[in-house]
């Protein structure tokens, strides 16, 4: 288990700091607390408006009580934000109780979800235990089990993404993925030999310069339905120097997180396995280190991808779309998925376009796009539709190969170019591409795990109806 | 601009004959007559050229009969699927093939009046040329087309369909001229002067200078202007088509609140003290395309006597570095009272728009407000050159704009707004900074503008930096100034705000 453990209780343990959500207006969640403490709560809350962001830290005979302004929460994400605020307000404590009595079970679960996600830190996370105080633990427990699976998926994604490039090189990434087998996920890691046999010329070229060769990791969750799987395709560049088209020094250290897409796909698989999802899924993760070396691929090289299409390399720093091309083709040809989503920290253009508050979604299937966006909204991972225009595809015409990998020059719509490129390898499969370059890290530079919960929720909402099979 | 006429079908005695042909179309009218007169030469030639009438296909047959110097067959696509856009594109493609003729006849018997008019519009829009500074071009190299006659049995219906389109084409040409003019010629004072002739169309034109702006408290606008020796201008154009502009009953009390269009008109943008790199700086002559578009739009609305009350306001200014120029770090006070810390003097467009938009709302209380601006390079990185970026606080207006743009080939793509983006503008010393950093650069620009939109006012911002100028030929525009926005906004008005 990663992060703080969450346990359900009917009453707070004396001495454990207790976070009490206070709704705006006269309603006080704490008023429903058992025993004779209701009066005490009311007293503590005198003059407390309950607006979002408001905090009152009180010392009481039973221990520390944190009143938290909850405003008028309407959506799960509002309660999640409140849970996160509780953890922030508590400071460096080992154990924290969240008062959720009188709340609907969904709200209680969202409160704990937000707290558990906020309690995570790659090396400095004192909070080990969260007590979720509810009226009827038995009623909340099954909901929490589902939510906890998604939290584990997201935290697994974050742990992987936080690892530096010397620790999480391609071989180490593959080894970490192999540990998912203990949850019932079948893990198959294809090395260079098998990739060569498959003709994965793009993935092999991108990984050629590094000491640890590229891998294609295939994660399978069988589920129960006898239907084609949903496929998650992830970009897993464990470190991206840019290769021969090397990046400037400034900010290069953040390229340790250039595998966040693959990590999110793996996290979603873990979430599905932990909650025993009935829907079958497969994740195809293209793992490589893009670095400089005598064996590195060059601008001007022409690569033959696994699909047979040839690609002219223009910029070795546009490597993500190349490894994804082979991964997408592998997924389509080997697994015939009913729908396919790729996640990638793909372009700087995406950051310029949408900043760090939304990821861009590109698609060949309007329904899948709407579903992904709805799932993202529910878990606070917002998407915004972006276009693939005819001109974007035209711009990729090559004089020497079937298509160019990207264009060169200033002010280019590179995120759309990349999406137009990827679409060529999706074939007729309903496909969506999520460019998560702007959202993979938070304002402190820590991984968000963006995508793991979104994919898990997408499956839960749209691929688990019994009538789908 | 070649003259367009619609007349009863008669075989032309000279010039070119254009045959618009649908896939699997049957030869009729002039087409059939010519085929017969030439002993079946037309049919044989089109077969030899594998011409099937597909969209984008064309074939030229030279002098098949005496008098006619060339016959141009142009594909329309499948008969059931020919819409105005396809007819415009066919008209545009036709222009290049007949430009060297003095006159051309289009055998339009098979085209319903709206499609014949659309064909004419496409042809005329594609004929645009900005050549007033070419002094040594040989006569032979210039286009010669003076007149295009459409042969049709529905001449009256065609003329009626054409009249408003002609006004739109004229509006588009006004915009393209303004956008194409070099910056030493078209400075703020000159650009304002060029609005005056539009009074002939029934528009009321007011021109405000720095004195008036100072009185109005345009601190942000004037801050941008202070580096240039040329004075800034704001032009206010009013077309009261619903209240009787251009008629005897003019000047009665307006029937309703007007719609408002606001344009950024930076006649040249060096970036100011935050100066731009040299490569490509010449493109900054078209940093006034938003204003140019509003001017052309107002001309189009007036030219076709649109039944709408509309106001157009443009802020005209030159952004130059000099001893008097505004500096990064300056704090300016806008007309709305809000203060702005200028971080980057090259984010000047929003400083102009904020004051003009505040004024527009105070004075006209418009039903909605659309601003157009070549505002950010970020929008080119986001969307490229096929869509303008659209930001709006109103879903209805946003949907209307998206729907209006599609059929006229001026597509917009909606981009997000949101509090999280707005926070990027936080300043330590003033109410806001004028830039929010690289991430989401177009969005933070829109957020800045939104801070000057009064609560509850429907508003849309079109960032046209990627579409105002085209480096390649488009179906109905030669490369260069596109006038993107004139037709889109004219259509918006026609679809929802007239009558």
Report the CATH number that the domain containing residue B140 is assigned in CATH. 3.40.220.10
d(CA B263, CA B369): 11
Out of A353, A356, A391, the one facing B382 most closely (by C-beta) is: A353
The residues in B 265-284 lying below 8 A from A, measured between CB atoms, are 279-280
Strand bridging mode A383-385 / A359-363:
parallel
Query: A430 and A365 in contact (C-beta within 8 Å)?
Result: yes
Does residue B175 form part of some domain? Answer: yes
Q: What share of chain A is helix, strand, coil (3-state, %, to 5)?
A: 40, 20, 40
Which residues in chain B are contacts of A389 at CB distance < 8 A? 384, 386-387
pLDDT, residue B246, reads 56
pLDDT, residue A35, reads 34
Which residues make Cβ contacts (< 8 Å) with residue A451, sequence separation at least 6? A157, A260, A261, A264, A265, A267, A268, A343, A359, A381, A434, A436
DSSP-derived 3-state class of residue A188: strand
Asked if B386 is an interface residue toward chain A (Cβ–Cβ < 8 A), one would say: yes
d(CA A327, CA A282): 12
Is the pLDDT confidence value at A431 over 70? yes
pLDDT, residue A153, reads 98
Domain boundary among B95, B126, B154: B154
Clarify whether residues B212 and B191 are in a common domain: yes
**How far does the CA of residue A421 sit from the closest CA of chain B (Å)?**
15
Out of B380, B384, B440, the one facing A354 most closely (by C-beta) is: B440
Range of the domain at B137: 3-154
CA–CA distances in Å: residue B372 to residues B264, B312, B314, B400, B420: 6, 11, 10, 16, 24
Instruction: Locate A399 and state its tokens.
Output: 């004089």
Element (H, E) at A79: helix A76-90
**How far does the CA of residue A352 sit from the closest CA of chain B (Å)?**
5
Which residues in chain A are contacts of B381 at CB distance < 8 A? 349, 352-353, 411-415
- Short-list A202, A201, A205, A172, CA closest to A189: A172
Asked if A438 is an interface residue toward chain B (Cβ–Cβ < 8 A), one would say: yes
Nearest residue of A to residue B379 by CA position?
A353
Scored b (16 or more CB within 10 A) or e, A171-202 reads bbbbebbeebeebebebebbebeebeebebbb
pLDDT, residue B394, reads 98
Nearest residue of A to residue B422 by CA position?
A357
Q: What is the DSSP letter of B299?
A: H
User: How many domains are contained in chain B?
Assistant: 2
Asked if B446 is an interface residue toward chain A (Cβ–Cβ < 8 A), one would say: no
d(CA A279, CA B134): 69
Which residues in chain B are contacts of A445 at CB distance < 8 A? none
Domain boundary among B154, B185, B209: B154
Asked if A384 is an interface residue toward chain B (Cβ–Cβ < 8 A), one would say: yes
Clarify whether residues B59 and B198 are in a common domain: no
Does residue B145 form part of some domain? Answer: yes
Asked if A352 is an interface residue toward chain B (Cβ–Cβ < 8 A), one would say: yes
**Could you count the other beta carbons within 10 Å of the beta carbon of residue B129?**
16
d(CA B115, CA B117): 5
Which residues in chain B are contacts of A361 at CB distance < 8 A? none
- Kindly tell me the sign of the dihedral angle through the C-alpha atoms of A8, A13, A17, A22: positive
Nearest residue of B to residue A391 by CA position?
B386
Query: A346 and A327 in contact (C-beta within 8 Å)?
Result: no
DSSP A266-277: HHHHHHHHHTT-
pLDDT, residue A81, reads 97
d(CA A386, CA B42): 47
Q: What do you get for the CA distance between the two ends of chain A, in Å?
A: 32
Question: Any idea what the Cα angle at residue B259 is, between residues B254 and B265, rounded to 5°?
Answer: 125
Can you say how many angstroms the Cα of residue B336 is from the centroid of all Cα atoms in its chain?
29
**Could you count the other beta carbons within 10 Å of the beta carbon of residue B66?**
9
Asked if B475 is an interface residue toward chain A (Cβ–Cβ < 8 A), one would say: no
The residues in A 123-182 lying below 8 A from B, measured between CB atoms, are none
Does residue B326 form part of some domain? Answer: yes
Clarify whether residues B370 and B439 are in a common domain: yes
H helices within B328-454, ranges in order?
349-364, 378-383, 395-405, 419-422, 441-450
Clarify whether residues B341 and B388 are in a common domain: yes
Instruction: Locate A10 and state its tokens.
Output: 């009917």
Does residue B161 form part of some domain? Answer: no
Out of A352, A358, A390, the one facing B381 most closely (by C-beta) is: A352
B194 phi/psi in degrees, rounded to 5:
-70, -10
Asked if B329 is an interface residue toward chain A (Cβ–Cβ < 8 A), one would say: no
Which residues in chain B are contacts of A383 at CB distance < 8 A? none
Does residue B414 form part of some domain? Answer: yes
DSSP B50-89: T----TT-EEEEE--SSSEEEEEEEEEEEGGG--HHHHHH
Clarify whether residues B236 and B123 are in a common domain: no
Which residues make Cβ contacts (< 8 Å) with residue B456, sequence separation at least 6? none
Clarify whether residues B33 and B73 are in a common domain: yes
Is the pLDDT confidence value at A328 over 50? yes
Clarify whether residues B172 and B51 are in a common domain: no
Does residue B159 form part of some domain? Answer: no
Clarify whether residues B284 and B143 are in a common domain: no
Mean predicted confidence (pLDDT) in A374-400: 97
Query: A181 and A290 in contact (C-beta within 8 Å)?
Result: no
> How many A/B residue pairs have CB atoms within 8 Å?
80
DSSP-derived 3-state class of residue B463: strand
Query: B356 and B335 in contact (C-beta within 8 Å)?
Result: no
Q: Which residues of B are catalytic?
A: 276, 350
Clarify whether residues B60 and B121 are in a common domain: yes
Identify the bridge partners of residue B339 per DSSP, sorted by sequence position: B333
SS (H, E, C) A350-417: HHHHHCCCCEEEEECCHHHHHHHHHHHHHHCCCEEECCCCHHHHHCCCCCCCCEECCCCCCCCCHHHH
Does residue B246 form part of some domain? Answer: yes
Mean predicted confidence (pLDDT) in A441-459: 97
Asked if B378 is an interface residue toward chain A (Cβ–Cβ < 8 A), one would say: yes
Asked if B384 is an interface residue toward chain A (Cβ–Cβ < 8 A), one would say: yes
Which residues in chain B are contacts of A357 at CB distance < 8 A? 416, 418, 420-421, 440
**Could you count the other beta carbons within 10 Å of the beta carbon of residue A444?**
6
Q: What do you get for the CA distance between the two ends of chain B, in Å?
A: 31
Instruction: Locate A91 and state its tokens.
Output: 């400071």
C-alpha neighbours within 13 Å on the C-beta side of residue A119: 30
| Owner of token pair 């006659």 | B149
d(CA B301, CA A434): 42
Q: Which residues of A are catalytic?
A: 247, 321
Does residue B441 form part of some domain? Answer: yes
Instruction: Locate B268 and state its tokens.
Output: 């040249």
| Owner of token pair 């400034």 | A250
Asked if A389 is an interface residue toward chain B (Cβ–Cβ < 8 A), one would say: yes
Provide the residue count of chain A.
469
Which residues in chain A are contacts of B420 at CB distance < 8 A? 357
Report the CATH number that the domain containing residue B375 is assigned in CATH. 3.40.630.10
Is the pLDDT confidence value at A39 over 70? no
Average pLDDT across chain A, whole number: 94
Mutation pick from A411, A415, A438, A442 vs chain B, by most beta carbons of B within 10 Å, is A411
Q: Name the stretches of chain B with pLDDT < 70.
A: 245-255
Inter-chain contact B439–A386, Cβ cutoff 8 Å? no
Element (H, E) at A344: strand A339-344
| Owner of token pair 């221990």 | A63
Clarify whether residues B259 and B308 are in a common domain: yes
Q: What is the DSSP letter of B195?
A: T
Query: B152 and B124 in contact (C-beta within 8 Å)?
Result: no
Please name each of the domains of chain A with its CATH number. 5-135 (3.40.220.10), 163-468 (3.40.630.10)
Query: A277 and A464 in contact (C-beta within 8 Å)?
Result: yes
A462 phi/psi in degrees, rounded to 5:
-125, -10
Strand bridging mode B68-78 / B15-23:
parallel
Asked if B326 is an interface residue toward chain A (Cβ–Cβ < 8 A), one would say: no
Clarify whether residues B136 and B178 are in a common domain: no
Out of A352, A395, A416, the one facing B378 most closely (by C-beta) is: A352
Clarify whether residues B428 and B405 are in a common domain: yes
Query: B358 and B452 in contact (C-beta within 8 Å)?
Result: yes
Mean predicted confidence (pLDDT) in A149-168: 98
């Amino acid at each position: 288990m990663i992060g703080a453990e969450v346990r359900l209780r009917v009453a707070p343990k004396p001495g454990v700091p207790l976070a009490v959500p206070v709704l705006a207006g006269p309603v006080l969640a704490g008023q429903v607390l058992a025993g004779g403490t209701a009066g005490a709560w009311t007293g503590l809350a005198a003059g407390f408006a309950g607006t979002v962001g408001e905090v009152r830290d009180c010392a009481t005979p039973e221990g520390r009580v944190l009143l938290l302004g909850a405003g008028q929460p309407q959506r799960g994400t509002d309660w999640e934000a409140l849970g996160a605020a509780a953890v922030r307000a508590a400071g460096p404590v080992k154990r924290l109780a969240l008062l959720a009595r009188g709340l609907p079970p969904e709200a209680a679960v969202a409160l704990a979800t937000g707290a558990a996600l906020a309690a995570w830190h790659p090396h400095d996370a004192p909070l080990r235990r969260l007590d979720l105080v509810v009226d009827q633990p038995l009623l909340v427990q099954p909901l929490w089990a589902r939510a906890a699976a998604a939290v584990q998926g997201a935290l697994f994604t974050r742990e992987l993404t936080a690892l530096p490039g010397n620790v999480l090189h391609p071989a180490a990434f593959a080894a970490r993925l192999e540990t998912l087998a203990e949850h019932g996920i079948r893990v198959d890691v294809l090395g260079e030999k098998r990739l060569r046999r498959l003709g994965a010329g793009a993935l092999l070229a991108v990984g050629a310069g590094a000491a640890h060769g590229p891998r294609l990791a295939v994660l399978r969750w069988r589920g129960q339905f006898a239907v084609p799987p949903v496929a998650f395709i992830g970009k897993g560049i464990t470190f991206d120097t840019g290769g021969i088209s090397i990046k400037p020094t400034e900010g290069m250290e953040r390229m340790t997180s250039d595998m966040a897409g693959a990590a999110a796909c793996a996290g979603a698989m873990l979430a599905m396995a932990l909650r025993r999802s009935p829907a079958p899924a497969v994740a195809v993760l293209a793992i490589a280190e893009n670095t400089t070396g005598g064996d590195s691929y060059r601008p001007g090289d022409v690569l033959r991808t696994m699909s047979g299409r040839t690609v002219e390399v223009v910029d070795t720093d546009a490597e993500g779309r190349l490894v994804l091309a082979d991964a997408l083709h592998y997924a389509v040809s080997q697994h015939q998925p009913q729908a396919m989503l790729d996640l990638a920290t793909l372009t700087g253009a995406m950051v310029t376009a949408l900043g760090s508050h939304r990821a861009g979604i590109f698609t060949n299937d309007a329904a899948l796009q709407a579903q992904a966006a709805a799932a993202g909204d529910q878990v606070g991972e917002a998407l915004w539709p972006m276009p693939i225009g005819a001109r974007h595809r035209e711009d990729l015409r090559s004089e020497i190969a079937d298509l160019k990998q990207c264009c060169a020059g200033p002010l280019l719509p590179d995120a759309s170019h990349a999406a137009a490129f990827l679409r060529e390898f999706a074939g007729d499969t309903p496909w969506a591409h999520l460019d998560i370059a702007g959202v993979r890290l938070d304002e402190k530079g820590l991984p968000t795990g963006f995508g793991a919960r979104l994919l898990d929720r997408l499956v839960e909402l749209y691929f688990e109806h019994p009538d789908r099979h | 601009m070649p003259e367009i006429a619609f007349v009863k079908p008669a075989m032309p005695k000279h010039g070119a004959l254009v045959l618009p042909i649908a896939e699997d179309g049957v030869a009729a009218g002039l087409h059939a007559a010519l085929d017969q007169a030439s002993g079946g030469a037309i049919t044989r030639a089109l077969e030899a050229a594998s011409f099937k009438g597909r969209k984008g296909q064309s074939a030229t047959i030279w002098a098949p009969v005496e008098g006619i110097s060339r016959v141009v067959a142009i594909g329309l696509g499948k008969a059931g699927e020919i819409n105005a856009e396809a007819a415009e594109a066919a008209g545009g493609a036709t222009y290049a093939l007949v430009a060297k003729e003095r006159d051309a006849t289009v055998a339009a018997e098979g085209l319903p009046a709206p499609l014949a008019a659309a064909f004419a519009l496409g042809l005329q829009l594609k004929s645009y040329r900005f050549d007033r500074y070419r002094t040594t071009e040989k006569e032979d190299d210039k286009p010669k087309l003076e007149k295009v006659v459409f042969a049709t049995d529905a001449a009256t219906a065609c003329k009626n369909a054409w009249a408003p389109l002609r006004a739109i084409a004229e509006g588009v040409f006004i915009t393209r001229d303004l956008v194409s003019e070099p910056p030493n010629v078209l400075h703020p004072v000159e650009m304002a002067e060029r609005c005056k002739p539009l009074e002939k169309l029934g528009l009321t034109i007011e021109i405000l200078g720095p004195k008036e702006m100072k009185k109005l408290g345009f601190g942000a606008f004037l801050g941008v202007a202070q580096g240039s020796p040329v004075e800034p201008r704001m032009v206010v154009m009013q077309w009261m088509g619903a209240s009787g502009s251009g008629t005897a009953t003019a000047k009665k009390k307006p029937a309703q609140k007007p719609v408002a269009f606001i344009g950024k008109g930076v006649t040249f943008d060096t970036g100011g003290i935050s100066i731009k790199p040299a490569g490509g700086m010449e493109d900054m002559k078209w940093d006034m395309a938003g204003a140019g578009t509003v001017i052309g739009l107002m001309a189009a609305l007036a030219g076709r006597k649109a039944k709408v009350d509309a106001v157009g306001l443009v802020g005209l200014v030159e952004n130059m570095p000099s001893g008097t120029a505004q500096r990064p770090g300056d704090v300016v006070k806008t007309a709305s009272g809000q203060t702005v810390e200028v971080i980057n003097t090259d984010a000047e467009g929003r400083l102009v728009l904020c004051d003009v938009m505040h004024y527009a709302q105070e004075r006209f209380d418009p039903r909605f407000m659309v601003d157009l601006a070549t505002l950010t390079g970020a929008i080119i990185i986001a969307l490229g050159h096929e869509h303008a970026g659209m930001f709006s606080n109103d879903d209805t207006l946003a949907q209307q704009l998206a729907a209006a743009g599609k059929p006229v080939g001026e597509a917009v793509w909606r981009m997000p707004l949101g509090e999280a983006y707005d926070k990027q503008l936080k300043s330590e010393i003033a109410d806001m900074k004028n830039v929010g950093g690289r991430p989401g650069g177009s969005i933070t620009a829109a957020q800045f503008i939104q801070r000057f939109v009064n609560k509850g006012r429907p508003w849309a911002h079109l960032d046209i930096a990627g579409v105002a100028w085209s480096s390649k030929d488009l179906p109905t525009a030669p490369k260069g100034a596109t006038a993107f926005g004139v037709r889109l906004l004219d259509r918006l008005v026609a679809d929802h705000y007239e009558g």
